[in-house]
Structure 1
Amino acid sequence: MVRSRPLPVDPLAEAKRQWIAHGWSDAADGMAVVTSVMRAQQLLLARVDSALKPFALSFARYEVLRLLAFSRAGRLPLSSVVARLQVHATTVTSTADRLVRDGLIVREPHPHDGRAALLALTDEGRDLVERATTALNADVFAAPGISSADAAELVAIVARLRKGAGDFTEPRPLPEPL
């Protein structure tokens, strides 16, 4: 939960001080990294949830819609959605069930694999994800709370952590700005 007033002291800095005081110096930096990233995730997710609330979307539902909207034909195999969102198939299936129920996507038979299904965006789903993206861009992504330089550094640091954890093999280079 986001506090209405800032605390007079950083509780994560205090936690690190306590870690060191209790003889866990070798783990103090790691504890500070993990808890800092987790707290930052809470803060950012609260902003995202607030921006998506008027659209009755969770971030998981938004991600599926956005991924389908980015695809050339507005449809992808369920297995591709699972791989690209890096979540368990059960989670995507459950999310897809709710999106189908709400008329935002449909399930279609895979044209080459009778065992597989395609998830396809409906016109209503496309309209909703475009409006939700406009809100997210305005309310969250355009001003994430840190400078552009800090944002680039943070993304690079987290990418190294993710790569080291086996999340991907090598990031593709970003296009140069025009």
Structure 2
Amino acid sequence: MAAPSSLPFDPVEEAARKWSARWDETDAMAVATSIMRVQQLLLGRIEAALRPLQLTFARYEALVLLCFSRQGSLPMSKMGQRLMVHPTSITNIVDRLQAQEFIRREPHPTDRRTTLVVITDAGREVTERATQALVEVRFALDSLDPEKMRDLYDLLREVRLHAGDFPADDPRRSWPDAFSD
């Protein structure tokens, strides 16, 4: 599903053309700028799919994280680490989810300083509905066939590995192996 173009030209290509007249690393600039733009496009479509459920992608990710946890609960600090967001952001996400009654806060049973975030039945139900909405739009990646999706995954994984996003000694796993555990 293509959105109507707001420009009669590709702005990334135009920026690369102008960039190349002044600086080096035009290819890297064009790729980085393209990735940033694709992120904006994906997030826009994903947020649109979640809007009827009154969720943002950040809140959806928090709910999914809780669904994946063994007990349906995690300390707020661990949620922030796993979602890779600032403590202020996780507090905001949790506040909004609690106002929607998708989670509740509980004191940790053995650590008075820790607050647990616990997903509610309503939270589990909206997570299922949200996931179905995202699957229906293929997480806004409906323009890519399975082979291109695998190639893109591997390329982006390489960038994340080089950036230290996960341990370098983690064995390199390509698409099919990455999801078979």
Query: Structures share a fold, TM > 0.5?
Result: yes
Q: Classify the secondary structure of the residue corresponding to 1:168.
A: coil
Aligned-residue offset at 1:176: 3.9
Read off the aligned partner of 2:12 and give its amino acid letter: L
- Matched with 2:102 is 104
Q: Classify the secondary structure of the residue corresponding to 2:134.
A: helix
Give the Cα–Cα distance (whole angstroms) in 2 for the partners of residues 112 and 167 of structure 1. 31
CA contact under 8 A between 2:103 and 2:117: conserved in structure 1? yes
- Matched with 1:13 is 13
Give the Cα–Cα distance (whole angstroms) in 1 for the partners of residues 92 and 5 of structure 2. 37
Give the Cα–Cα distance (whole angstroms) in 1 for the partners of residues 108 and 143 of structure 2. 42
Aligned-residue offset at 1:175: 3.9
Q: How does 1:68-107 map to 2 (within 5 A)?
A: 68-107=66-105
Aligned-residue offset at 1:27: 2.5
> Please, what is the CA RMSD of the aligned residues?
2.1
1:105-150 Cα deviation digits (max 9, x unpaired)? 0011112211011100011111111111111111233853212111
Could you list the runs of 5+ residues in structure 1 that have no partner in the other structure?
A: none
Q: Classify the secondary structure of the residue corresponding to 1:16.
A: helix
Distance 1:56 1:175, change over 3 A: closer
Distance 1:97 1:142, change over 3 A: closer
Distance 1:156 1:49, change over 3 A: same
Match of 2:125 among 127, 133, 140: 127
- Matched with 2:57 is 59
Q: Classify the secondary structure of the residue corresponding to 1:106.
A: strand
Aligned-residue offset at 1:3: 5.0
Q: How many percent identity over aligned positions?
A: 47
1:48-104 Cα deviation digits (max 9, x unpaired)? 011001001011111111111111221111122112111111111111011111111
Aligned-residue offset at 1:5: 3.5
CA contact under 8 A between 1:51 and 1:140: conserved in structure 2? no
Give the Cα–Cα distance (whole angstroms) in 2 for the partners of residues 31 and 3 of structure 1. 24
1:137-175 Cα deviation digits (max 9, x unpaired)? 112338532121111111111111112112111367524
- Matched with 2:178 is 174
- Matched with 1:36 is 34
Could you list the runs of 5+ residues in structure 2 that have no partner in the other structure?
A: none
CA contact under 8 A between 2:102 and 2:119: conserved in structure 1? yes
1:28-52 Cα deviation digits (max 9, x unpaired)? 1221121100110111111101100
